[in-house]
């Protein structure tokens, strides 16, 4: 491979940061324009570094803002090249402006703000292009749209999303059924769509992490994701509905009595098949996690994480008597003048400056303790052990930096029993008791991810107390429960993350040591930033750009809302 081709591939991390999803960057034939199939961005290896960055910014922004989603790309079929070129000129301008906060500096000069102001969505860009509006041909730096390649990649993704099925780990071939909702299979007639914005895009850190993966686990094999590691099952009848219940899940359910869980909090759930919400569909029971019997003698050293995150949660404050700044400190200037007239040497600290020295970030970590986390991961440890280590390291690092941080764990046994266990609340100290509670968590039951995300979002909204808020989901990405399978569960999780984003909350999803297929993660995590990290100690190398990407997206949403 030539130096030029290797130079192109080094841009994978930039592509991931701009697009907010896992992307590969690969070389085209020299002289060919840039293009993407939705998973890989192809760049001309003979172009200058600036031209490569500009082309990458356009293609990645189109992916990030929905300009190449299936409902748009299918309109390209059998259309004239001139029409597609007009769409590219218009939509690229809109996408670059919408994604401006994440663009490299050299790419921001490409934005045609007058043209971008004429459209607010990919659909409007298509209508404007189809209307015959006079627009210039797309610059060479925009690259091209290869509709056939995009459609082929999207068909492959759609096929893999609909053909696979989870097979319960039992001797019965019967599917898992909802425990207690036989009469509720049809959605409520008065259900309203609480959030109308569609979910698009993806999230991740790019080819750098894909190379690190030593194994790939896909849904549809070796039993149901979210089920417990033991294969023994028993029959249970609840309100006349027969179900297959794993023994480990049953033990976990019996550990917490109904009286201890209380009434619970209800949340809606997105029914992707009927394109509407189910009102008050899931019940979340919040309890305090039990402390483990063994102490955690050596908490993780978070020095590398603290160094990486030290500047991310800083808010601006106005500081007087600075040696440089953007305004004059009147009192200091008067004092300096008086000292000068009195024959003394005046000080030169006569400015007011805005400096980032105030922590203004709240982070809620949501740890998946469903049964699938008990499976072996990379490095000879289970997925749970590695994700638990990261939860401890991140909580400790953020706490020592002065950020407000909370840690919750979640699992579920049907829609009426989504268990969220508090390990550390925002106002609690990070101490040995927190580590003992974290160490006492044992993987069991299933993963109704959407309900857990909605509860985490509500806790952030009501208890964080800071303007910048971040939800970090530590999960293997396998959303699965009774009546919450594959396409349905993935769509609900994506919707819950989109709802959090609409409330100005940044979302970051991390998969540690699981090796879950990147495409499966994209279907579950949608537009939220996400990354797969094979080993926990590798997280410090990439955590800063991941946090920054998630927070920048949230900041953009808040500015638009205001």
> What string of DSSP letters covers 137-169?
PPPGGG----HHHHHHHHHHHHHHHHH-----S
Mean pLDDT of the region 32-51:
90
Strand partners, 531: 510
Mean pLDDT of the region 315-335:
74
Residue 170 has pLDDT above 90, yes or no: no
Span of 127-136, 171-180, 498-507 with lowest mean pLDDT: 171-180
Q: pLDDT confidence of 165, banded at 50, 70, 90? A: very low
Residue 535 φ/ψ region, left for φ over 0, alpha for ψ in the -120 to 50 degree band, beta for the rest: beta
Percentage of residues in the chain with pLDDT exceeding 70? 75
**What Cα–Cα distance (Å) separates residue 117 from each residue in 124, 139, 156, 201, 319?**
11, 19, 35, 22, 37
Handedness of CA 206, 207, 213, 215 (dihedral sign): positive
Q: pLDDT confidence of 196, banded at 50, 70, 90? A: very low
Residue 477 has pLDDT above 60, yes or no: yes
Q: pLDDT confidence of 169, banded at 50, 70, 90? A: very low
Q: How far apart are CA 58 and CA 142, in angstroms?
A: 6
Statement: the pTM of the whole predicted model exceeds 0.75: no
Mean pLDDT of the region 317-331:
76
Q: Please answer whether residues 38 and 63 qualify as being in contact, where contact means their C-beta atoms are separated by less than 8 angstroms.
A: yes
Position 458 scores a pLDDT of 96
Position 298 scores a pLDDT of 58
Q: pLDDT confidence of 540, banded at 50, 70, 90? A: confident
Greater pLDDT, 477 or 183: 477
Position 317 scores a pLDDT of 56
For the chain, the C-alpha Rg in angstroms (whole number) is 26
Q: How far apart are CA 317 and CA 547, in angstroms?
A: 21
Q: pLDDT confidence of 212, banded at 50, 70, 90? A: very low
Q: Please answer whether residues 520 and 541 qualify as being in contact, where contact means their C-beta atoms are separated by less than 8 angstroms.
A: no
Q: pLDDT confidence of 459, banded at 50, 70, 90? A: very high
Residue 378 has pLDDT above 50, yes or no: yes
Residue 237 has pLDDT above 80, yes or no: no
- What three-state secondary structure class fits 481? strand
Position 518 scores a pLDDT of 81
Q: Taking the mean position of all CA atoms in its chain, how far away is CA 476?
A: 13
Position 157 scores a pLDDT of 62
Span of 257-261, 301-305, 419-423 with lowest mean pLDDT: 257-261
In the chain, the largest separation of any two C-alpha atoms, in whole Å, equals 95
Mean pLDDT of the region 479-492:
92
Position 163 scores a pLDDT of 44
Greater pLDDT, 210 or 553: 553
**What Cα–Cα distance (Å) separates residue 271 from each residue in 226, 486, 488?**
19, 12, 7
Position 310 scores a pLDDT of 79
Q: How far apart are CA 465 and CA 425, in angstroms?
A: 13
Position 195 scores a pLDDT of 32
Q: pLDDT confidence of 193, banded at 50, 70, 90? A: very low
Q: Where are the domains of the chain?
A: 3-155, 182-302+360-561, 314-358
Q: How far apart are CA 176 and CA 4, in angstroms?
A: 53
* pLDDT, tens digit (0-9, with 9 covering 90-100), for 51-95: 999 999 999 999 988 889 888 888 876 666 788 888 999 999 999
Position 301 scores a pLDDT of 67
Percentage of residues in the chain with pLDDT exceeding 90? 33
Query: Is the CATH number of domain 182-302+360-561 3.40.50.410?
Result: yes
- What three-state secondary structure class fits 24? strand
Position 58 scores a pLDDT of 94
Q: pLDDT confidence of 348, banded at 50, 70, 90? A: confident
Burial 254-281 (b: 16+ CB within 10 A, else e): eeeeeeeeeebbbbbbbbeeeebbbeeb
Greater pLDDT, 85 or 179: 85
Q: pLDDT confidence of 247, banded at 50, 70, 90? A: very low
Q: pLDDT confidence of 159, banded at 50, 70, 90? A: low
Position 12 scores a pLDDT of 83
Span of 270-284, 476-490, 520-534 with lowest mean pLDDT: 520-534
If residue 265 lies in a helix (H) or strand (E), which one and from where to where? Answer: strand 265-271
User: Which tokens hold the place of 131?
Assistant: 């209307």
Q: What is the mean pLDDT of the chain?
A: 77
Greater pLDDT, 30 or 169: 30
Greater pLDDT, 244 or 260: 260
Burial 403-439 (b: 16+ CB within 10 A, else e): bbbbbbbbbbbbbbbbbbbbbbebeeebeeebbbbbb
**What Cα–Cα distance (Å) separates residue 165 from each residue in 247, 488, 523?**
22, 12, 15
């Amino acid at each position: 491979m030539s130096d030029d081709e290797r130079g192109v591939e080094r841009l994978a991390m930039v592509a991931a940061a701009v697009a907010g999803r896992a992307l590969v960057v690969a070389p085209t034939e020299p002289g060919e324009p840039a293009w993407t199939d939705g998973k890989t961005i192809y760049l001309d290896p003979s172009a200058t570094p600036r031209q490569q960055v500009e082309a990458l910014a356009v293609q990645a922004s189109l992916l990030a803002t929905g300009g190449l989603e299936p409902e748009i790309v299918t309109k390209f079929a059998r259309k004239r090249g001139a029409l597609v070129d007009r769409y590219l000129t218009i939509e690229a301008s809109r996408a670059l402006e919408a994604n401006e906060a994440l663009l490299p500096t050299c790419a921001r000069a490409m934005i045609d703000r007058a043209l971008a102001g004429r459209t607010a969505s990919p659909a409007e860009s298509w209508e404007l292009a189809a209307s015959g509006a006079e627009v210039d041909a797309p610059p060479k730096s925009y690259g091209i749209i290869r509709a056939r390649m995009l459609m082929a990649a999207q068909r492959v993704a759609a096929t893999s999303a609909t053909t696979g099925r989870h097979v319960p780990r039992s001797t019965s071939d019967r599917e898992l059924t909802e425990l207690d909702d036989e009469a509720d299979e049809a959605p409520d007639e008065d259900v309203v769509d609480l959030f109308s914005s569609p979910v698009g895009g993806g999230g991740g850190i790019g080819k750098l992490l894909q190379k690190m993966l030593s194994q790939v686990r896909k849904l549809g094999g070796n039993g149901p994701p979210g089920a417990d590691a033991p294969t023994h099952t028993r029959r249970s009848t609840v309100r006349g509905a027969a179900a297959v219940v794993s023994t480990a899940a049953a033990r976990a359910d019996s550990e917490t009595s109904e009286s201890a869980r209380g009434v619970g909090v209800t949340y809606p759930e997105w029914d992707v098949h009927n394109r509407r919400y189910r009102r008050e569909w899931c019940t979340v029971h919040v309890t305090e996690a039990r402390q483990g019997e063994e102490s955690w003698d050596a908490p993780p050293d978070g020095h590398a994480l603290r160094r990486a995150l030290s500047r991310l949660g800083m808010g601006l404050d106005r500081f007087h008597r600075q040696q440089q700044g953007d305004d004059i400190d009147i009192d200091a200037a008067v004092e300096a003048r008086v000292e000068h007239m009195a024959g003394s040497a005046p000080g030169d600290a006569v400015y007011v400056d805005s400096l980032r020295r105030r922590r203004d970030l709240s982070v809620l970590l949501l740890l998946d303790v469903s049964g699938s986390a008990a499976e072996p991961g990379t490095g000879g440890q289970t997925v749970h052990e590695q994700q638990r280590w990261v939860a401890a390291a991140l909580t400790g690092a953020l706490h020592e930096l002065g950020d407000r941080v909370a840690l919750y764990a979640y699992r579920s046994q049907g829609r009426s029993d989504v268990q969220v266990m508090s390990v550390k609340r925002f106002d609690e100290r990070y101490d040995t008791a927190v580590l003992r509670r974290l160490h006492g968590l044992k993987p069991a039951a299933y993963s109704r991810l959407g309900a857990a995300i909605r509860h985490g979002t509500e806790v952030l909204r009501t208890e964080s107390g800071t303007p910048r808020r971040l939800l970090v989901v530590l999960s293997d990405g396998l959303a699965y429960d009774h009546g919450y399978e594959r396409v349905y569960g993935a769509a609900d999780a994506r919707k819950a993350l989109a709802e959090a984003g609409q409330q100005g909350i940044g979302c970051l999803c991390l998969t540690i040591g699981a090796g879950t297929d990147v495409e499966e993660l994209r279907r579950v995590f949608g537009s939220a930033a996400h990354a797969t990290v094979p080993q926990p100690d590798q997280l410090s190398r990439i955590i800063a750009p991941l946090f920054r990407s998630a927070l920048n997206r949230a900041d953009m949403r808040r500015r638009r809302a205001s």
